[in-house]
Amino acid sequence: SYISYDTNDVAVYIADAVNLRSAVTVCGIITEVIKRTNDKGKDWFLISFTDKTGNLSGHYFPRKDKVKFVEALKEGDGVIFDGEMEEYNGRPSYRINNIGLCDFPADFVPERKEGKKAPANYKNIFPQELQDATQINVFKQDDFIPDCLMGKTFVVFDVETTGLDVLNDRITEIGAVKIVDGEIKDCFTTLINPQVNISEKITSITGITNEMVADKPVFSEICSDFYKYVENAILVAHNANFDISMMKNHYLREGYYLENSYLDTLEISRNTLKGLKNYQLNTVCDYFEIQFLHHRALSDAHATAKLFIELIKLKKCLPF
């Protein structure tokens, strides 16, 4: 039978929770429950859920008397969690302590926060056409555009950074592509001077050197342009919690609230493609024969855009 627990804590939005490193109560709708067994034979669960501000996956190691309860959870169930938002390899990680059922309103609309508005015009960085003409339309002539993509705008983006600490490291590059009605329309890309040193280790990963960003704009000089670019769009990224958290923290310092809904192709891949050795971007792109230059922001964003549409073609629906 289903069981619950008592809590007086107030749930926070997932979009805000991923920036915390503390005890957090969150609630939402389950999108997937995966049962796994560790090396010691103990069952644990990876539970994915959404609250319309973001998506989150939490790991839960239940007592024996709670295993059947968790096994009975299914997609669409309203749930509330108490847990700890931690950091694993520099990325947000949610450890679930308690799970209960709740009535999550179907018509829930997140409360909008007041901050700076998107400008009327671009100032420093302008959208561009993609240079490779073969990349403009990700669909073949005889292919179909899923109905769920029509009438919607998505911005698929990636950031390169000075490290994996979403609170203290800095963005060195933004790359993004815009999808309108299932077709890639244009892109947004810029290097950014992080105003801190880029280590040799990070340069070996991203290819971005201190010399490359020395004369580039700082984040405060381009943030309004990217804010305009993503206005009214659904954001998409691979391992989105990292990119979203990094962006949110940068924008908060400039007086903006980045409140766009977002989708994570890492979570969609896990839910849609079973049996891959891992779900890193290059692995999933290899599955669809999508080629790209890994660890440069625009290339990663464009590959993720292709991946996103391939995944939605398989699912035939959006994950919310």
Question: Can you give the pLDDT of all 320 residues of the chain as single tens digits?
Answer: 344 555 567 889 988 887 788 899 999 999 999 999 988 888 999 999 988 887 888 999 999 889 999 999 999 999 999 999 987 766 678 999 999 999 999 888 888 778 899 999 999 999 999 875 344 344 444 467 889 999 999 999 999 999 988 878 999 999 999 999 999 999 999 999 999 999 999 999 999 999 999 999 999 999 999 999 999 999 999 999 899 989 999 998 999 999 899 999 999 999 899 899 999 999 999 999 998 777 789 999 999 999 999 999 999 888 86
Q: What's the confidence (pLDDT) of residue 139?
A: 47
3-state secondary structure at position 258: coil
Domain spans of the chain?
14-101, 133-315
Q: What's the confidence (pLDDT) of residue 2?
A: 40
Q: Are 258 and 250 spatial neighbours (Cβ–Cβ below 8 Å)?
A: no
Catalytic residues: 295
Q: What's the confidence (pLDDT) of residue 182?
A: 92
- Predicted TM-score (pTM) of the model is 0.73
Q: Which CATH number fits domain 133-315: 3.90.1300.10, 3.80.10.10, 3.30.420.10, 1.10.510.10?
A: 3.30.420.10
Could you say which architecture CATH assigns to the domain 14-101? Beta Barrel (2.40)
